């Protein structure tokens, strides 16, 4: 009986730890609601602006399976300093250079990482780096459409909180929605 319970628990834990492979806006043209999917396009969770009025983009609610969390600005005076809390994990992130939003530093359970945006003829590509090694790449799924994104893992997936921080930066700083 104990083995059965242990197997069930480990199975549920691995389900909750599935990496996010695709995300898109819930409603066309509305960047306040995002849906997160796994490799088989099963709904994993959502990212939603907490306040849908007055252009307040400073707090976001996050839900993946049964886990909930938030992404919010750390200080109102510094609008590009953020933190992601998911379960008992905290990831803080801010631009490498003040007010320049194409290169970010993330600090959390996966160590110190860099997240960099590049634009080319196909669209926008973000790369999460651990040192000089690319860890994951996020790119717009369809040409000139920034409401759907694909995530490609080049190494084992980082923590869900780190993934969510990276996806938030992609959704929030790729184009000017506000």
* Whole-angstrom distance, CA of residue 161 vs CA of residue 85: 7
pLDDT at 76 over 80: yes
Taking only the tens place, the pLDDT of each residue in 29-50 is: 889 999 999 998 899 999 999 9
Pair 151, 22: CB distance under 8 Å: yes
Q: Rounded to the nearest 5 degrees, what angle is found at the Cα of 104, between the Cα atoms of 103 and 109?
A: 150
Taking only the tens place, the pLDDT of each residue in 12-26 is: 343 445 689 999 999
Rounded mean pLDDT, 126-154 = 94
Number of domains within the chain: 1
Q: Could you count the other beta carbons within 10 Å of the beta carbon of residue 145?
A: 13
37 is a domain residue: yes
pLDDT at 111 over 80: yes
pLDDT at 112 over 90: yes
What lies within 8 Å, CB to CB, of 109 at 6+ separation is: 89, 91, 159, 161, 162
Specify the residue for token string 């252009």.
55
> What is the average pLDDT value for the chain, to the nearest integer?
88
95 is a domain residue: yes
Task: For residue 64, give the CATH number of its domain.
Answer: 2.40.160
pLDDT at 2 over 90: no
What tokens were used for 82? 């953020």
159 is a domain residue: yes
Query: What pLDDT band is residue 99 in, cutting at 50, 70 and 90?
Result: confident
pLDDT at 117 over 90: yes
Query: What pLDDT band is residue 75 in, cutting at 50, 70 and 90?
Result: very high
178 is a domain residue: no
pLDDT at 144: 86
Length of the chain measured in residues? 178
Domain carrying residue 71: 2-173
- Of 166, 119, 163, the closest CA to residue 143 belongs to 119
Pair 126, 137: CB distance under 8 Å: yes
Rounded mean pLDDT, 86-113 = 96
Rounded mean pLDDT, 63-92 = 95
Pair 64, 44: CB distance under 8 Å: yes
* Whole-angstrom distance, CA of residue 112 vs CA of residue 46: 25
**Which DSSP symbol is given to 20?**
P
Write down the pTM of the prediction: 0.86
Strand partners, 119: 124
28 is a domain residue: yes
Q: Compute the radius of gyration of the chain from its Cα atoms.
A: 16
């Amino acid at each position: 009986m104990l083995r059965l319970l242990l197997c069930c628990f480990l199975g549920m834990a691995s389900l909750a730890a599935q990496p996010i492979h695709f995300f898109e806006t819930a409603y066309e043209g509305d960047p306040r609601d995002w849906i997160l999917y796994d490799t088989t396009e099963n709904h994993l969770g959502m990212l939603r602006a907490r306040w849908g009025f007055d252009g307040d983009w400073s707090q976001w609610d996050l839900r993946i399976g049964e886990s909930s969390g938030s992404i919010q600005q750390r200080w109102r005076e510094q609008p590009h300093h953020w933190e992601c809390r998911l379960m008992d994990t905290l990831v803080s992130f801010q631009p490498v250079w003040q007010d320049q939003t194409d290169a970010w530093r993330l600090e959390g359970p996966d160590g110190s990482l860099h997240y960099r945006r590049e634009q080319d003829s196909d669209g926008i590509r973000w790369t999460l780096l651990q040192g000089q090694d690319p860890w994951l790449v996020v790119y717009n799924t369809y040409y000139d459409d920034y409401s759907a994104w694909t995530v490609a893992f080049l190494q084992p997936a980082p923590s869900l909180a780190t993934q969510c921080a990276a996806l938030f930066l992609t959704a929030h700083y790729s184009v000017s929605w506000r």
